[in-house]
């Protein structure tokens, strides 16, 4: 008599983005022909860099010829790509070995799967609000109690509130926790942690033998000086941090799928000496994964240097200009906004203390603009919405016009 | 103080294929310049079908244009591909809904991850020998005791011995088990289950509310009549079976990465009514996965009909001809061989009761041929090796010549 993993039953509700899609689709059915302006999901919209496309087409040509065809690659990723990633980090003064990199099909998979390296009884801290995958994967992994509807929290999790008061970068927890998820530049708040702020977490983790899972998927959006692009810019981080990153937001790989995770050999925890967690993740990837698409890997390689890098940087600049337009547009109608300078996301306070899903509905209904309700990212997001700069310029401008003309607050 | 998932420590040894790679690489270093003939890993070697390449290049062209660019797709796979898969199964008289299909980055990931739907205390039965992923993923999932070195088995697992006596298709277990992994055509034995043999398992599963995880990654290699290509050809299977398949061995997607899993809405178990497991896998994929590469999906679509289908069928025919050559070559030197008719794998008994890793070393050393030691697939494989038909024809012929000339048994 097979029985299910009952942790799934603890999951509070549908995953945030499918729920947005559901509400949007319902609205569209009720308003046929009315165009919807999507600033919700962080989904890239501009063309893939030319150099990336060329590299991928060349790979397909080589696969179409039996003398150059290749089948399974290494589960950890192709050596040339891992070495290119080493060089990519050297730009920021970070020295890593290629065997500390694990290429994957994207940051989401890795962010969800990484918890499986750790025991069920680890106490997990997350920034609140946070990317739902950190939370949901640990619910399924059995590291929480039930969802407390009143508080909007899972029992057993430690929520580090990211608020206007702390500039959306909380301090390390007062109590002992075992796993700490950090994201900078942050999704959803758009806040970016300084060296000193990250150092406080690294010091905390070293002192408590905790492990930081650092999501740097938006590192290429940092435009101002003084903000680390990698947690390994902080001294001692290799002992206590795993870093996850992706080609999605840098080079438009959201649909192509490619990311990487760094598990340093120096990483250790209470019952694992240096080297053990690197070997465990290697084993995990060799057992549960069969390598990222070889076509995508060639594309990723092209994005890391030369013309591909410049074209990817231009893509980021395009979205950042969108972010500026959104920041200014929302400010103009009187909303209080954060982020959008070192991040593609603008975090906007809802007017008059409105609940975020209500403001979502209002924006959709009155302005035909889809945003992401902050409440979907955690209780501290309940009076905010995330506005994404991913979209065609003309859509972004139109959305701001619609909001300026139609939003009554 | 973070602590690790100690189930990883139970894993008996390195994953089989990395161990083969390690031994082969050591041998090559000791014998520089001597070519090695690889019939080990089931890794495709012939060119990707032309129609598949064209479709993928077209997709890249559409991604290089902002008016046709797409980002994230549905985690479950693109609708057009799920619908094409529905039509693909209709060829075998199997009616499924597109929402019962979940497109993924390959059968390996799904075969490893599927266990996460089930509770830790489920008793797991596997065919012995079996693809190591079924075993290792359940070890990590906590469904076994320690590895018993003497028996070559994990405590807590139920091993269904596939032997010469039962034609390598065991009967359902005598005791109650909760999860049953079946693979037909079988990796590694090359045996294929008849309708009646599968029906016995389906009846067992329905009676015991067990769930069958059916790996049909080699279904396209069935050349003889009377063998189901899908477990859903068996009446009642939708109530009790999940099916996993892949484009890897049909269309050469080993490196491109694309597969699918079917979780029927009728599937139920002890504490889950019809619909629940389908919804759980949907939730799992939406949380832990972000969709297969959109380029690969276009390639997969092309492989399912028209020229792409014919070209994929020709690829399969090529490998099956290799299989015939291997069967005959190994028989000629006096080895007892199985499989290779409805399967790309030949399962060869080692001479004189030799242990399979010893025979691996002998073949490598004396014939420069790499095969897969049967012992790596479970204790019942300890006097067999798996010979793979994936390889260039000229390599396969050369390997058989080397064996004929140099193998002393």
- What would the pLDDT profile of B168-194 be if each residue is shown by its tens digit? 999 999 999 999 999 999 999 999 999
**Rounded Cα distance, B352 and B371, in Å:** 18
Q: What is the mean pLDDT of residues B228-234?
A: 98
Return the pLDDT at A5: 96
* Nearest beta carbon to residue A295 from set B56, B118, B132: B56
pLDDT tops 70 at residue A242: yes
CB–CB contact B289 A108 (8 Å):
yes
For the four alpha carbons of B387, B389, B395 and B397, in that order, the dihedral sign comes to: positive
The pLDDT confidence band at residue A41, using thresholds 50, 70 and 90, is: confident
Return the pLDDT at A294: 98
Q: Does B324 show up as a binding residue in the annotation?
A: no
- CA atoms within a 13 Å half-sphere pointing along the CA-CB vector of B5: 27
The pLDDT confidence band at residue A14, using thresholds 50, 70 and 90, is: low
pLDDT tops 80 at residue A15: no
> Which domains does chain A show, CATH number per domain?
12-47+308-406 (3.90.1150.10), 53-306 (3.40.640.10)
- Residue pair B384/B24 in contact (Cβ under 8 Å)? The answer is no
CB–CB contact A3 B119 (8 Å):
yes
Q: Does B108 show up as a binding residue in the annotation?
A: yes
* Nearest beta carbon to residue B270 from set A2, A276, A296: A2
Q: What is the mean pLDDT of residues A291-315?
A: 98
Q: Which residues contact B139 (CB under 8 A, 6 or more apart)?
A: B7, B10, B11, B154
Return the pLDDT at B220: 98
**Rounded Cα distance, A67 and B191, in Å:** 31
- Residue pair B340/B190 in contact (Cβ under 8 Å)? The answer is yes
B344 contacts on A by Cβ (under 8 Å): none
Return the pLDDT at A16: 80
Q: Does B229 show up as a binding residue in the annotation?
A: no
Return the pLDDT at B269: 97
Return the pLDDT at B162: 98
- Residue pair A153/A10 in contact (Cβ under 8 Å)? The answer is no
Predicted complex ipTM:
0.96
- Average pLDDT across chain A, whole number: 96
**Rounded Cα distance, A211 and A181, in Å:** 9
The pLDDT confidence band at residue B76, using thresholds 50, 70 and 90, is: very high
Shortest Cα distance, chain B CAs vs residue A170, angstroms: 20
**Rounded Cα distance, B355 and B334, in Å:** 17
* Nearest beta carbon to residue A119 from set B3, B105, B119: B3
The pLDDT confidence band at residue B409, using thresholds 50, 70 and 90, is: confident
Taking phi over 0 as left and psi of -120 to 50 as alpha, with beta for the rest, A96 belongs to beta
How much of chain B, in percent, has pLDDT values that exceed 90?
95
Return the pLDDT at B12: 83
3-state secondary structure of A296: helix
Tokens of A71: 């089948």
Q: Which residues contact A79 (CB under 8 A, 6 or more apart)?
A: A98
Least confident of A2-16, A49-63, A123-137, A245-259: A2-16
Helices (H), A256-305: 276-288, 294-303
CB–CB contact A288 B3 (8 Å):
no
A297 contacts on B by Cβ (under 8 Å): none
H or E segment at B246? strand B241-246
- Residue pair B370/B24 in contact (Cβ under 8 Å)? The answer is yes
Taking phi over 0 as left and psi of -120 to 50 as alpha, with beta for the rest, A257 belongs to left
Q: Which residues contact A327 (CB under 8 A, 6 or more apart)?
A: A337, A340, A341, A346
Q: Is B324 on the interface with A (CB under 8 A)?
A: no
**Rounded Cα distance, A248 and B72, in Å:** 9
> Strand (E) positions, A116-249?
124-128, 147-148, 153-154, 158-161, 179-183, 211-215, 241-246
pLDDT tops 90 at residue A386: yes
**Rounded Cα distance, A70 and A90, in Å:** 30
Among residues 25-54 of chain A, which lie with CB inside 8 Å of chain B? 41, 43-48, 50, 53
Annotated binding-site ranges of A for pyridoxal 5'-phosphate: 72, 107-108, 131, 187, 218, 246-248, 257, 290
* Nearest beta carbon to residue A117 from set B4, B15, B71: B4
Q: A216: closest CA among A203, A228, A202?
A: A228
Return the pLDDT at B373: 96
pLDDT tops 90 at residue A12: no
Q: B190: closest CA among B172, B212, B167, B173?
A: B167
- Residue pair A260/A104 in contact (Cβ under 8 Å)? The answer is yes
Tokens of B276: 């629940």
Residue A266: count other Cβ atoms within 10 Å of its Cβ.
17
**Rounded Cα distance, A377 and A384, in Å:** 10
Q: Does B23 show up as a binding residue in the annotation?
A: no
Return the pLDDT at B15: 67
**Rounded Cα distance, B23 and B42, in Å:** 17
DSSP one-letter string for A279-291: HHHHHHHHHH---
The pLDDT confidence band at residue A18, using thresholds 50, 70 and 90, is: confident
Q: Looking at the DSSP assignment, which residues form a beta bridge with residue B339?
A: B346
Tokens of A281: 């993740």
Q: B25: closest CA among B13, B11, B38?
A: B38
The pLDDT confidence band at residue B42, using thresholds 50, 70 and 90, is: confident
pLDDT tops 70 at residue B14: no
The pLDDT confidence band at residue A258, using thresholds 50, 70 and 90, is: very high
CB–CB contact A210 B46 (8 Å):
no
**Rounded Cα distance, B174 and B159, in Å:** 11
Nearest residue of chain A to residue B311 (CA atoms): A64
B319 contacts on A by Cβ (under 8 Å): none
- Average pLDDT across chain B, whole number: 96
Q: Which residues contact A401 (CB under 8 A, 6 or more apart)?
A: none
The pLDDT confidence band at residue B139, using thresholds 50, 70 and 90, is: very high
**Rounded Cα distance, B237 and B231, in Å:** 6
Q: Does B131 show up as a binding residue in the annotation?
A: yes
**Rounded Cα distance, A354 and B5, in Å:** 42
- Residue pair B186/B168 in contact (Cβ under 8 Å)? The answer is yes
Return the pLDDT at B1: 92
Angle at CA of residue B114, ends B91 and B172, nearest 5°: 75
**Rounded Cα distance, A301 and A88, in Å:** 10
**Rounded Cα distance, B361 and B137, in Å:** 28
The pLDDT confidence band at residue B371, using thresholds 50, 70 and 90, is: very high
């Amino acid at each position: 008599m097979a029985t299910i993993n009952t942790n799934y039953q603890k999951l509070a509700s549908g995953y945030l983005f499918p729920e947005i899609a559901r509400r949007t689709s319902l609205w569209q059915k009720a308003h046929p022909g009315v165009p919807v302006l999507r600033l919700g999901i962080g989904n890239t919209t501009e063309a893939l860099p030319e150099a990336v496309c060329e590299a991928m087409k060349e790979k397909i040509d080589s696969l179409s010829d039996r003398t150059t065809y290749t089948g399974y690659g290494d589960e950890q990723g192709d050596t040339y790509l891992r070495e290119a990633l080493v060089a990519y980090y050297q730009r920021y003064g970070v020295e890593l070995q290629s065997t500390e990199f694990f290429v994957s099909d994207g940051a989401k998979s890795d962010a969800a799967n990484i918890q499986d390296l750790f025991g069920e009884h680890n106490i997990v801290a997350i920034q609140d609000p946070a990317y739902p995958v950190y939370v949901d994967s640990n619910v399924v992994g059995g590291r929480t109690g039930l969802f407390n509807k009143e508080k909007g929290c899972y029992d057993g999790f430690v929520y580090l509130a990211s608020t206007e008061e702390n500039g959306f970068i909380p301090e390390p927890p007062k109590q002992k926790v075992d796993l700490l998820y950090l994201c900078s530049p942050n999704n959803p708040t758009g806040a970016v942690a300084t060296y000193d702020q990250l150092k406080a977490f690294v010091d905390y983790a070293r002192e408590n033998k905790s492990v930081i899972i650092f999501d740097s998927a938006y590192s290429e959006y940092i435009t101002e000086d003084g903000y680390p692009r990698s947690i390994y810019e902080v001294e001692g981080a290799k002992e206590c941090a795993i870093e996850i990153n992706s080609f999605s937001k840098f080079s438009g790989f959201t649909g192509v799928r490619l990311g990487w995770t760094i598990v340093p050999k120096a990483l250790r925890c209470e019952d694992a000496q240096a080297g053990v967690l690197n070997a465990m993740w290697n084993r995990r990837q060799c057992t549960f994964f069969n390598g990222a698409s070889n076509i995508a890997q060639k594309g990723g390689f092209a994005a890391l240097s030369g013309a591909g890098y410049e074209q990817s940087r231009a893509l980021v600049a395009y979205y950042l200009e969108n972010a500026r337009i959104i920041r200014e547009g929302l400010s103009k109608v009187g909303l209080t906004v954060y982020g959008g300078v070192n991040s593609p996301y603008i975090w906007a306070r809802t007017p008059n203390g409105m609940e975020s899903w209500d403001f979502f509905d209002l924006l959709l209904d009155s302005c035909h603009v889809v945003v992401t309700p902050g409440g979907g990212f955690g209780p501290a997001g309940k009076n905010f919405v995330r506005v994404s700069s991913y979209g065609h310029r003309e859509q972004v401008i139109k959305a701001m016009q619609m909001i300026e003309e139609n939003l009554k607050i």
